[in-house]
Amino acid sequence: MKVIDQFKNKKVLVLGLAKSGESAARLLDKLGAIVTVNDGKPFEENPAAQSLLEDGIKVVTGGHPLELLDEDFALMVKNPGIPYSNTMIEKALAKGIPVLTEVELAYLISDAPIIGITGSNGKTTTTTMIGEVLTAAGQRGLLSGNIGYPASQVAQTATAKDTLVMELSSFQLMGVQEFHPEIAVITNLMPTHIDYHGSFEEYVAAKWNIQNKMTAADFLVLNFNQDLAKDLATKTEATVVPFSTKEKVDGAYLENGLLYFRGEVVMAASEIGVPGSHNVENALATIAVAKLRGVDNQIIKETLSAFGGVKHRLQFVDEIKGVKFYNDSKSTNILATQKALSGFDNSKVILIAGGLDRGNEFDELVPDITGLKKMVILGQSAERVKRAAEKAGVTYVDATDIADA
């Protein structure tokens, strides 16, 4: 861990706990900051706040009092899930207080080089693939960030021989200033989290923060299946390394069932350990990163062939009486569902679908669900999903919840 003194004796407000907030508070305290933690959960129901208080860190719980900002804070570190429309954040910004997320702290203290992965779909799978390939190659890929391990915690023990492999959400990337990965990956960009960002353009702008400090010595891995990515490639100082399943590119690509990197065969697409066209894209992004880090093709092939998926992401669960069960509950948008179905013969698939109603119509899904053996439909969006099923000519049954399904 790098020893830095820029926070020493500075008053810092940590807004929101959970794993990342607690980790940030403890790190800042270790770096000599005067830390105050503010969390909405009542103190008696807040084990993290209780633990921090026991360790001598000031906590304010049970609400977000605006008068707290009357103190002379030099910095606010916010939980990424708290929107910038929060009144505490609005007041902090109005007072000229910088507002960061804990991934910025991780960057500032990390001895390890950083690979950052963001995008709408495939972030967690690609992050995990990259981590496993690098570890197999002796570069120890340490997973952190949005994948569930606070980056500021993992960075404290990472050495220069390790690689910090960080999954980064748009929420986290809105709060970075100096963050500078050596390699960044944007898996794809789709209209998601618009309720948080206000527009697709603002969402893309947040994702694009990943490359703000990158130079020509750094590598930006982009999905050239998307015209948007090709356009963005002209707007960065980083060296762009594309991947594509649709065309031959100067990077990683699919051709005649084989995965290449700059003209060299790495492995067959059929050898990837998880199904689906989206996982071919994830594997190509991983191959691009691995080759940029000098990993041998055989190590890449062996690792991706043995890859069993990530929990809730087209994860093979079990086979019962000849029926294979896959958990893909993280497919919370149309594109993710389309990609998941692309790996199977529809005539053999029973799809359980539904969930929260985000106002989407599912007409776009009709070609992808046509020919399904059956659908089981549940949740708030059930009526919308049923309309798509009827247009596709798919029979369906209702379920009250997952257990019933």
Q: Which contacts of 132-137 are long-range, i.e. CB under 8 A and separated by 24 or more positions?
A: 132/303, 132/307, 133/286, 133/289, 133/290, 133/295, 133/299, 133/300, 133/303, 133/304, 134/163, 134/165, 134/290, 134/293, 134/295, 136/299, 136/302, 136/303, 137/290, 137/293, 137/294, 137/295, 137/296, 137/299
Is residue 354 predicted with pLDDT exceeding 80?
Answer: yes
- Could you tell me the pLDDT band of residue 311, with boundaries at 50, 70 and 90? low
Say what the pLDDT of residue 315 is: 72
Burial track 379-392 (b if 16+ CB lie within 10 A, e otherwise): bebbebbbebbeeb
Average pLDDT value for residue range 50-66: 97
CA–CA distance, 168 with 115 (Å, rounded to integer): 10
Per-residue pLDDT reduced to its tens digit, 267-306? 999 999 998 899 999 999 999 999 999 999 999 999 999 9
What is the pairing mode between strands 11-15 and 34-39?
Answer: parallel
- Could you tell me the pLDDT band of residue 309, with boundaries at 50, 70 and 90? confident
Average pLDDT value for residue range 221-250: 99
Residue 318, helix vs strand vs coil = strand
Is residue 182 predicted with pLDDT exceeding 80?
Answer: yes
Give the lowest-confidence range in 67-76, 159-168, 186-195, 258-267: 186-195
Same CATH fold assignment for domains 103-306 and 315-398: no
Please give the backbone phi and psi of residue 400, each rounded to the nearest 5 degrees, phi first. -80, -30
In the chain, domain spans: 11-100, 103-306, 315-398
Contacts of 112 (CB under 8 A, 6+ apart): 142, 155, 158, 159, 160, 161, 162, 163, 164
SS (H, E, C) 259-293: EEECCEEEEEHHHCCCCCHHHHHHHHHHHHHHHHC
Say what the pLDDT of residue 131 is: 97
What is the pairing mode between strands 374-378 and 350-354?
Answer: parallel
Q: Which contacts of 226-229 are long-range, i.e. CB under 8 A and separated by 24 or more positions?
A: 226/188, 226/189, 228/189, 228/204, 229/186, 229/188, 229/189
For Cα atoms 44, 45, 51, give the angle at the middle one, nearest 5 degrees. 75
Average pLDDT value for residue range 231-252: 99
Say what the pLDDT of residue 337 is: 86
The answer regarding whether domain 11-100 maps to CATH 3.30.470.10 reads: no
Which span out of 50-59, 305-314, 361-370 was modeled with the highest average pLDDT? 50-59
Residue 14, helix vs strand vs coil = strand
Is residue 313 predicted with pLDDT exceeding 70?
Answer: no
Is residue 312 predicted with pLDDT exceeding 70?
Answer: no
Among the four given CATH numbers 3.20.20.80, 3.90.190.20, 1.10.3720.10, 3.90.320.10, the one describing domain 315-398? 3.90.190.20
Average pLDDT, the chain: 94
Say what the pLDDT of residue 20 is: 92
Give the global pTM: 0.80
Give, to the nearest 10 degrees, the angle between helix 277-292 and helix 297-306: 150
Tell me the CATH architecture of domain 103-306: 3-Layer(aba) Sandwich (3.40)
Per-residue pLDDT reduced to its tens digit, 98-122? 999 999 999 999 999 999 999 999 9
Per-residue pLDDT reduced to its tens digit, 117-165? 999 999 999 999 999 999 999 999 999 999 989 999 999 999 999 999 9
Bridge partners of 353?
A: 377
Say what the pLDDT of residue 326 is: 86
Length of the chain: 405
